[in-house]
Amino acid sequence: MNTKSANQDWLARSQAAVWHPCTQMRHHADAGSPAHLPLVPIARGSGAWLYDFDGKRYLDGISSWWTNLFGHANPRINAALREQLETLEHVMLAGFTHQPVVELSERLSALTGGALGHAFYASDGASATEIALKMSFHYWRNVGRPEKAEFLCLAGSYHGETVGALAVTDVAIFKDAYAPLVRAATVVPSPDFRLAEDGETPADVARRAAGALEKHLEQYAANIAALIVEPLVQGAAGMAMYDPEYLRLARALCDRHEVHLICDEIAVGCGRTGTFFAHEQAGIRPDLMCLSKGISGGYLPLSIVLCSDTIYEAFFDDSVARAFLHSHSYTGNPLACRAALATLDIFEEDDIIAVNHRKAAKIAAALAPLANHPQVRHLRQRGMIAAFDVATDDPHFSRRFYRAALDREALIRPIGNTVYLMPPYVVSDEEIELLARSAIGALAEALT
């Protein structure tokens, strides 16, 4: 008789045939080792929950890598996709257009108050980063300033892991291995408020980091095309949060020194930080903006670069060489665009920004007991992202915590010693309580 459960069968087959991302595969294989990372086969999802093949459930506390906004198998997004599937699954976007891509471009431009008038499409976040960098570089060439060809990024920045995007990604583990392949950008100090010196407020840290940016621009702006930032929260750095003052100052400095400001809103956009776009909290607009992750509700690969009319117009010409050169087979895929439109509909119909303000307050209250934990540092939150750092020397802390959380029905995957919650917006008050209880319980277990 075969005594293997359906779960065990799928995980064995997955380990044998699938190369999982962001993973040392050996950590899946070595059950019993402190570095063990269990592989969890998922049969189906519903709302904020994922279910395995044996009927065990997990609350998706990190929105399946920050993508899911309105739950798994959302009936409204499903209905929109079913209709789109029966109408048009795909058509090339070179020389052709279609209703979902036009409507999505119009609505996104409107969400920027018309500041970013054109939308360019790809499928993943790293491609959006590369497109934004290429657009900035090519803009300066088209306006007769080809020497503006360098980029600036913040310490600890993450903008994707393709060879081009790694140029502006400053997370050692991703970058070090491939450094010889990469034309690295210049790294300027991060405004991360955890870097506060005695007596400094988060706004002081922001001003200090902007001061360093100013010094750099004063010397080198003639060769710099753009500064790229993750507005308000540097996600992959470990949910490093900073004061909006930095964005205000960076915007003014970029204007003064004729450098583009690229806002990578791939993780922080779509209502995650309390406004639809995070940069709104600084009262600024970027020249270029990258979107992906949540924009399709977590359904389909889709990324978008929005640009200002000034940038667009520098490419509008008789010459093909002056046109933007980036082709991608599935660009503007109608199904992905339709998922994004259904996502934007939910934002409007359910007044999600207001709903999230209430949910964010619930998350803060549920995690508040951790503020007094002797090993918890920098308990922090920006909208629907809450995080804290754990003071421990245990090199296996993140995996111990991850396993302990799974045992408590929660998918919470720390980044190093930073534990964060980033749930889908459909999470209920009871589910927030469960997530917080699981996090607090998992912390206790991981630290014993």
The least CB distance from residue 167 to ligand PLP, in Å, is 13
The least CB distance from residue 197 to ligand PLP, in Å, is 27
Looking at beta carbons, which pairs linking 82-91 to residues 24 or more positions away fall under 8 Å?
A: 83/338, 84/334, 84/335, 84/338, 85/335, 87/334, 88/334, 89/334, 89/335, 90/330, 90/333, 90/334, 90/335, 91/334
Q: CB nearer to ligand PLP: give 292 or 438.
A: 292
Q: CB nearer to ligand PLP: give 206 or 267.
A: 267
| Structure token pair of residue 79 | 């209905």
390 phi and psi angles, rounded to 5 deg: -115, 125
Stretch that binds ligand PLP, among 157-165, 188-196, 335-343, 432-440 (CB under 6 A): 157-165
The least CB distance from residue 127 to ligand PLP, in Å, is 7
Closest to 188 measured CA to CA, from 137, 275, 138, 257: 257
The footprint of ligand PLP on residues 121-150 (CB under 6 A) is: 124-126, 129
Asked if 25 contacts 19 with a C-beta cutoff of 8 angstroms, the reply is yes
Q: CB nearer to ligand PLP: give 213 or 304.
A: 304
CA distance 277 to 266: 10
The footprint of ligand PLP on residues 1-20 (CB under 6 A) is: none
| Structure token pair of residue 421 | 């919650």
Element (H, E) at 205: helix 202-220
Q: Does 192 bind ligand PLP (CB under 6 A)?
A: no
Asked if 88 contacts 439 with a C-beta cutoff of 8 angstroms, the reply is no
Q: CB nearer to ligand PLP: give 293 or 380.
A: 293
71, 100, 156, 160: which one contacts ligand PLP (CB under 6 A)? 160
Q: CB nearer to ligand PLP: give 267 or 304.
A: 267
Q: Does 425 bind ligand PLP (CB under 6 A)?
A: no
Q: Does 151 bind ligand PLP (CB under 6 A)?
A: no
Residue 109: CB atoms within 10 Å? 17
Closest to 188 measured CA to CA, from 146, 136, 150, 148: 150
Stretch that binds ligand PLP, among 108-116, 260-268, 401-409, 433-441 (CB under 6 A): 260-268
Q: CB nearer to ligand PLP: give 117 or 235.
A: 235
CA distance 61 to 48: 8
The least CB distance from residue 305 to ligand PLP, in Å, is 12
Asked if 413 contacts 402 with a C-beta cutoff of 8 angstroms, the reply is yes
Stretch that binds ligand PLP, among 93-101, 259-267, 274-282, 391-399 (CB under 6 A): 259-267
Q: Does 266 bind ligand PLP (CB under 6 A)?
A: yes
| Structure token pair of residue 368 | 């508040």
Q: Report the first-to-last Cα separation within the chain, whole angstroms.
A: 39
158, 193, 347, 402: which one contacts ligand PLP (CB under 6 A)? 158
Stretch that binds ligand PLP, among 31-39, 155-163, 369-377, 430-438 (CB under 6 A): 155-163
Q: Which amino acid is at 251?
A: R
Q: CB nearer to ligand PLP: give 80 or 126.
A: 126
DSSP 317: S
The footprint of ligand PLP on residues 86-125 (CB under 6 A) is: 124-125
Query: 65-82: string of b/e by CB count within 10 Å (b at 16+)?
Result: ebbbbbbbebebbeebbe
267, 387, 434, 439: which one contacts ligand PLP (CB under 6 A)? 267
Q: CB nearer to ligand PLP: give 71 or 231.
A: 231
Per-residue mark of binding to ligand PLP, 206-245 (x: CB under 6 A): ------------------------x----xx---------
Q: Does 292 bind ligand PLP (CB under 6 A)?
A: yes
Asked if 49 contacts 59 with a C-beta cutoff of 8 angstroms, the reply is yes
| Structure token pair of residue 381 | 């939150």
> Site residues (CB under 6 A) for ligand PLP?
124-126, 129, 158-160, 230, 235-236, 264, 266-267, 292-293
